[in-house]
């Protein structure tokens, strides 16, 4: 009896995939061990976030890089703070040094993720 497990199709070889040796010694092998360093997912709900909305896109063949609407972490943080009514420029001074709620206060909320309330 043969059993097919659809999940195993996820691990099929992709074009230009580097074969990993047992011991990594060359720089060309770093980053090719199926970690998705340039893409990920976040589930947001409540707080004025759109229902059932997908934002961005990854490549079909190699889903490890955002190819449409990439989001940097500062903007994600700014979006979350925006839904809470907190400015991403907000800073607290600790030991005569400002600490922003987003990296250097540079985050910009992604308003496309939010419902319009008017």
pLDDT for the residue 60: 76
**CA distance to 42, 61, 94, 99, per residue, from 54 (Å):** 10, 19, 38, 32
Residue 74 token pair: 């500062």
Q: Is the pLDDT of residue 49 over 60?
A: yes
Residue range 62-83, pLDDT digits in tens: 667 788 999 999 999 999 999 9
**CA distance to 1, 35, 61, per residue, from 31 (Å):** 38, 7, 16
pTM, two decimals, is 0.65
CA 18 to CA 27: how far, in whole Å? 12
């Amino acid at each position: 009896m043969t059993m097919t497990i659809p999940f195993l199709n996820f691990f099929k070889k992709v074009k230009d995939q580097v074969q990993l040796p047992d011991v990594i010694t060359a720089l060309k092998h770093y980053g090719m061990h199926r970690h998705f360093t340039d893409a990920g997912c976040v589930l947001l709900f409540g707080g004025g976030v759109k229902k059932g909305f997908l934002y961005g896109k990854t490549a079909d063949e190699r889903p490890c890089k955002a190819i449409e609407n990439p989001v940097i972490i500062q903007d994600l943080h700014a979006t979350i703070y925006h839904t809470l009514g907190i400015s991403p420029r907000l800073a607290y001074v600790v030991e005569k040094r400002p600490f922003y709620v987003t990296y250097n206060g540079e985050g910009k909320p992604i308003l496309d993720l939010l419902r319009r309330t008017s």
